[in-house]
Structure 1
Amino acid sequence: MKRIAIDMDEVMADFNKKHLALFNRDFGEQLTTDDLHGKKLRELRPELVKEIRSYLLDPTYFRDLEVMEHCQEVVEELAQSYEIFVATAAMDFPTSFNAKYEWLKEHFPFIDDQNIVFCGNKSIIHADYLIDDNVRQLERFSGEGILFTSPHNVNVTGYPRVHNWLDVRDYFL
């Protein structure tokens, strides 16, 4: 059975929606995902990098992210034909382990605990495919990297791209 590794943030979990909501609330702005076209929030407001990063250091930040539309149903369908792993770069924010694990257990109870990987560099993942929004992770991965569209990566080329979970379904099934 072939293996698919799936990133969590910005692929399974809607990271940007909460991040922008908190930022807009705290700094009186009205930024949208359209404003992030080709950039991350910290690139739009470099003078606030420390403040922007501080949200992600909150141990509960990742616990209540919304699930990306159609993600649950498609991942469950894929699990019928592929071995599914979640590979999240939790080492970027070590305080996120518990929140990410609880989020995954709540929304994806059919994914075995043994198939959840908290890592940094995803080159350690032995899978046939990696679905990720982060080009840096795809560059390191030895299998086939598939770029999941996120506002910050819209200008990236060189990888097969999926825009949403229905595209993922079409790609694999």
Structure 2
Amino acid sequence: MKKKTIAIDMDGVLADVESQIIDHYNKAYGTNLTKEGIQGLSEEEAFKERELLFEILNKDNFFRTLPVMPDAVESVRELQKNFEIFIVSAATEFPISLAEKVAWLGEHFPFIKWENIVLCGSKRIINTDYLIDDHCKNLDYCMGKPIMFTAFHNINQTHHLRVNNWKEAVAVLNETL
């Protein structure tokens, strides 16, 4: 019997990009943004200095040093027992991130085979049974069942099934078996 498939986004789902951006942004711009303070804001509202944000996202080692989301490693291992897992990241927007993301996955998720890592531009081509992502721009085009992973910028979005953390994601997906 063929396993169902799950595509999992990296930034904001497996990797805590919010904390990393806030830390770099505060240091570079002299602000004191917090995760709590940007809840419900769009990325443009939270990080008003767009040029600075793009500089940060294009810095060497930015993506390589992202913290892992709580329970992500254990949860993906658990899901791998019953699902085929693909890691899918719209990485080509920041070309420097390509090698860094592969190295990050190798360090934190070495049990994910290289052929199950998809670094792309648009996720509209991804055809899996489920997509876990924090951006509606990806979930809205999901060919399978979209699952929105909570992030500051999607708190006010309600048109997709939401999970707030990895334990909830595992519970929701295990219910589908």
User: What is the TM-score with the length of structure 1 in the denominator?
Assistant: 0.96
The answer on 1:51 being equivalent to 2:63 is no
SS in 2 for 1:130: strand
Percent identity over the alignment is 41
Q: How does 1:1-173 map to 2 (within 5 A)?
A: 1-46=3-48, 48-173=49-174
Aligned Cα root-mean-square deviation (Å): 1.1
List 4+ stretches of structure 1 deviating above 3 A: none
Q: Which one-letter code corresponds to 2:133 in the other structure? A: D
SS in 2 for 1:146: strand
> Offset of 1:45 from its aligned partner?
4.2
User: What is the TM-score with the length of structure 2 in the denominator?
Assistant: 0.93
> Offset of 1:58 from its aligned partner?
1.6
Structure-1 separation of matches of 2:42 and 2:35: 10
Query: Is the CA contact (8 Å cut-off) linking 1:86 and 1:116 kept in structure 2?
Result: yes
Q: Deviations over 1:1-35 (max 9, x none)?
A: 10000000000000011110111112222110112
SS in 1 for 2:57: helix
Q: Give unmatched runs, 5+ long, in structure 2.
A: none
Q: Give unmatched runs, 5+ long, in structure 1.
A: none
Structure-2 separation of matches of 1:31 and 1:148: 21
Structure-2 separation of matches of 1:22 and 1:140: 31
Q: Which one-letter code corresponds to 2:40 in the other structure? A: G
Structure-2 separation of matches of 1:41 and 1:170: 29
> Offset of 1:117 from its aligned partner?
0.1
Structure-2 separation of matches of 1:139 and 1:23: 29
Q: Which one-letter code corresponds to 1:25 in the other structure? A: K
Structure-2 separation of matches of 1:150 and 1:44: 12
